[in-house]
């Protein structure tokens, strides 16, 4: 993938870190080194304060009340939708659907668009590097409809196998599900190119952008994918909130995902007329505080500049991979830094990743250990699990050095 970064001004991670209360703590004289943003990011004071302000001063339901604090809540809720739309350059705020998380976003596509459009013997394609959230819904859909599953495998160095891509195109699949950035390998996939190639054969494309939107400029219009899902809590926002950005004509043709309040225009005993987009897919009381908090998170990232975020992380990941490669018995996974996102996965000799993560925690270094909800990928590399360090705006070279130092201590403990 060829990247064009227009704003390469250095991002001051130490200054950024001061905005995050949790990163000010120490344990046994060691500062907290948080390297698990791929699972969930930390929250800046501005987001925390926005949540507190909502609950303290204008806690009310949205879209229903005609009193002042309800109207204020509705106004800020919908302003956040517009902020998200602009952040990813969606065509309209009506194409921004708020969900519970990216898993819910992908499941919504499977259960609504999928059940209405996928039939027996249609082909569904997904890749070997997908998170379970972009595998299991399509397996369920296949079981419900009789559609056939096909897969794009991964090369030893972490790229999509081009021969498999060509074979998938020849099948003219009904659906392609693909991650923009692997949460394990860090691979940045060429989404714009993949979408164009699969659209040529009539395929609908669903993109899991959970590891992309927080870390790099994302323009969904440029990607031209049919559906894009991402999640608030990986981009400085609250948990319990996701986004589905869908092509308007597809969303309008899809049946609702859930029935209830706010997704209706009018209800009679024998029939219902549904609300217009985006509320047609937002049944019941939403995560109001979460949406408002996401809007503040988007403001924070926009002020930093996503070009600068990407440039900072690219430099930091290159340094991390260089330093980790010097640790004896350590095996790195994924492509080289130029095609690598913010997550770096590795194994260290025969130390189980859970044991290794426990040792690192004693040094106040937080990493993720396990299969990372990507068990097919673990099978591909014939391993049970990896240790993953995932970086973000508040990390710097000192954090990498702390990780490497802790790994050397782990080697001594296990007498390697």
- Which residues are CB-contacts of 208 (< 8 A; sequence separation ≥ 6)? 102, 106, 130, 131, 133, 134, 177, 178, 179, 180, 229, 230
DSSP 24: G
Give the containing element (helix H, strand E) for 304: helix 288-304
Cα 247 from Cα 262, distance rounded (Å):
21
Alpha carbon distance 271, 372 (integer Å): 44
Read off the DSSP letter of residue 70: H
Q: Tokens 């040094």 appear where?
A: 363
The burial class, CB within 10 Å (0-12 / 13-18 / 19+), for 325 is exposed
DSSP symbols for 170-219: HT--SEEEEESB-TTT-BB--HHHHHHHHHTTT-EEEEE-TTTTTTS---
The DSSP H or E segment spanning 309 is helix 306-324
What is the spatial distance between Cα 94 and Cα 247, in angstroms, rounded to a whole number?
Answer: 10
Give the residue from 249, 247, 206 showing the smallest Cα distance to 230: 206
373 given a catalytic annotation: yes
The catalytic residue among 283, 349, 373, 378 is 373
334 token code pair: 């994924």
**Catalytic positions:** 373
């Amino acid at each position: 993938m060829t990247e064009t970064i227009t704003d390469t001004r250095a991002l001051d991670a130490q200054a950024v870190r001061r905005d995050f209360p949790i990163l000010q703590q120490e344990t046994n004289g060691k500062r907290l080194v948080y390297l698990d943003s791929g699972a969930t990011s930390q929250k800046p004071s501005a987001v925390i304060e926005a949540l507190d302000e909502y609950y303290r001063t204008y806690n009310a339901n949205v879209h229903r009340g005609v009193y002042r604090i309800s109207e204020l809540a509705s106004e800020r809720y919908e302003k956040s939708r517009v902020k998200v739309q602009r952040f990813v350059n969606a065509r309209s705020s009506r194409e921004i659907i708020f969900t519970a998380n990216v898993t819910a976003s992908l499941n919504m596509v499977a259960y609504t668009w999928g059940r209405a459009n996928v039939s027996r013997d249609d082909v569904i394609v997904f890749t070997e590097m997908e998170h379970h959230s972009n595998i299991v819904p399509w397996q369920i859909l296949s079981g419900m409809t009789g559609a056939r599953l096909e897969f794009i495998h991964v090369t030893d160095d972490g790229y999509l196998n081009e021969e498999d891509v060509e074979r998938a195109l020849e099948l003219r699949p009904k659906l392609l599900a693909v991650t923009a950035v692997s949460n394990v390998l860090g691979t940045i996939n060429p989404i714009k190119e993949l979408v164009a190639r699969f659209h040529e054969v009539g395929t609908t494309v669903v993109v899991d952008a959970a590891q992309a939107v927080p870390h790099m400029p994302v323009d969904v219009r440029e990607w031209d994918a049919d559906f894009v899902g991402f999640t608030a809590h990986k981009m400085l926002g609250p948990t319990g909130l996701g986004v589905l950005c869908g092509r308007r004509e597809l969303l309008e043709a899809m049946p609702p995902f859930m029935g209830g309040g706010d997704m209706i225009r009018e209800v009679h005993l024998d029939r219902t007329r549904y609300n217009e987009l985006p509320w047609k897919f937002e049944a019941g009381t939403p995560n109001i505080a979460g949406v408002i908090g996401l809007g503040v998170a988007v403001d924070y990232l926009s002020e930093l500049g996503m070009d600068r975020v990407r440039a900072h992380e690219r430099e930091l990941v290159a340094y991390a991979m260089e330093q980790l490669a010097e640790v004896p018995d350590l095996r790195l996974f994924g492509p080289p830094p130029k095609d690598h996102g913010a997550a770096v996965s590795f194994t260290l000799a025969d130390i189980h990743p859970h044991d290794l993560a426990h040792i690192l925690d004693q040094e106040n270094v937080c990493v993720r250990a396990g299969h990372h909800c990507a068990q097919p990928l673990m099978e591909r590399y014939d391993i049970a699990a990896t240790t993953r360090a995932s970086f973000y705006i508040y990390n710097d070279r000192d954090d990498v050095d702390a990780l490497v130092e802790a790994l050397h201590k782990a080697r001594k403990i296990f007498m390697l």
